[in-house]
A and B are shown apart, each in its own frame.
Chain A
């Protein structure tokens, strides 16, 4: 099992550019989520999904879009990047009914918006 994979590892964007952060898992987990980590703020939930075709907003959803067309993939889209979106982004997954003890995180994507 590769677990939770994220690409790219690093990305630099200019203000206004768009991009998609990729997240994939091979554990057949229904629940997937995106967090951002900022200094002094901990991890904050952006969007989450409880299964293919179902997504919902987290704590800080503005500026981000998600879709879940397959169980394996949960991409995060920035339609028009802003410097405030400079952060480290983590994707996570677990079974829908499973405990958060068994939530697995990807290695993260470090995004810089100039």
Chain B
């Protein structure tokens, strides 16, 4: 049972345009969400996070939006750059009694020059 889902395996956008990566979750007890970025042959690296008490968090070109009623979050990258081409994982922090990160399947973003 996939508690965190990224339903788009891949996304292709033109350089300079907006990239929107989506993530859905099923457990309303999740209270913290993170996005990780992963290049080939490297481990994931932290990108941006959001607490469930907020609905938006921004860091430079990256903004994460959280819609708790829809159990949906999205990562916006504006403007997209070729160096953003990577796999993006959404992750949720499990219920407080486990403290374990639960990851989505990942979305491969390709930004074309």
Provide the residues of chain B in CB contact with A106, threshold 8 Å: 43
A52 at interface, CB cutoff 8 A: no
B101 at interface, CB cutoff 8 A: yes
Closest to A48 in B: B100
In the complex, what's the smallest C-beta–C-beta distance from B21 to chain A, in angstroms? 13
Q: How large is the interface on A (under 10, 10 to 19, 20 to 34, 35 or more residues)?
A: 20 to 34
- Does B42 contact A42, Cβ atoms closer than 8 Å? no
- Does B43 contact A45, Cβ atoms closer than 8 Å? no
Q: How large is the interface on B (under 10, 10 to 19, 20 to 34, 35 or more residues)?
A: 20 to 34
Provide the residues of chain B in CB contact with A105, threshold 8 Å: 43-45
Closest to A41 in B: B105
A40-B105, A101-B34 as given contacts; A90 in contact with B43, CB under 8 Å: yes
In the complex, what's the smallest C-beta–C-beta distance from A49 to chain B, in angstroms? 12
User: Assuming A90-B43, A101-B49, what are 5 further A-B pairs, CB within 8 angstroms?
Assistant: A43-B89, A43-B103, A48-B100, A92-B43, A107-B42
In the complex, what's the smallest C-beta–C-beta distance from A62 to chain B, in angstroms? 16
Number of contacts between A and B (CB, 8 Å)? 53
B interface, over-half SS: strand
- Does B100 contact A45, Cβ atoms closer than 8 Å? yes
In the complex, what's the smallest C-beta–C-beta distance from A46 to chain B, in angstroms? 11
In Å, the complex CA distance between A35 and B6 comes to 18
In the complex, what's the smallest C-beta–C-beta distance from B14 to chain A, in angstroms? 27
B32 at interface, CB cutoff 8 A: yes
Provide the residues of chain A in CB contact with B41, threshold 8 Å: 107-108
A107-B41, A108-B41 as given contacts; A101 in contact with B100, CB under 8 Å: no
Which residues 56-105 of B have a CB within 8 angstroms of A? 89, 91, 93, 100-105
A20 at interface, CB cutoff 8 A: no
In Å, the complex CA distance between A61 and B37 comes to 25
Closest to A91 in B: B43
A42-B104, A43-B103, A45-B101 as given contacts; A100 in contact with B49, CB under 8 Å: yes
